[in-house]
Amino acid sequence: MSWAPKRFWSDVTVRPEGAGFAVLLDGRPVRTPAKTPLILPSEALAREIAAEWQAQEREVRPDLMPATRRANSAFDKVTPQFDAVVGEVAKYGATDLLCYRAEGPAELVRRQQVWDEVLRWAATRLHAPLIVTAGVIPCAQPPESLQRLREQVAGCTPFQLVALHDLVAMSGSLLLGLAVAHGHLTGAEAFALSRLDETFQAEVWGHDEDAAEATELRLKSFLEAERFFYCVGDNLAQ
Fold of 80-232: ATP12-like fold (1.10.3580)
Q: If you write DSSP's letter for every residue of 114-177 in order, what string do you get?
A: THHHHHHHHHHHSS-----EESSS--PPPHHHHHHHHHHHHTS-HHHHHHHHHHHHHHT-HHHH
* β strands within 60-122, DSSP E: 100-101
pLDDT tens-digit series, residues 36-94: 999 999 999 999 999 999 998 888 888 899 999 999 999 999 999 999 999 999 999 99
Q: Which helix (H) or strand (E) segment is 13 a member of? A: strand 12-17
Q: Where in the chain is the domain with CATH 3.30.2180.10?
A: 1-64
For the chain, the average pLDDT equals 93
Q: Delimit the CATH 1.10.3580.10 region(s) of the chain.
A: 80-232
Q: What is the dihedral of CA 159, 162, 165, 166, to 10 degrees?
A: -120
Closest CA to 99 of 124, 119, 117: 119
pTM score, two decimals? 0.94
State how far the alpha carbon of 146 is from the alpha carbons of 118, 183, 191, in Å: 16, 21, 22
Nearest to 119 by CA among 108, 130, 133: 130
β partners of residue 12: 25
Q: Which CATH class is domain 1-64?
A: alpha beta
Q: What average pLDDT score do residues 213-221 get?
A: 95
Q: Give pLDDT tens digits for 153-168.
A: 999 999 999 999 999 9
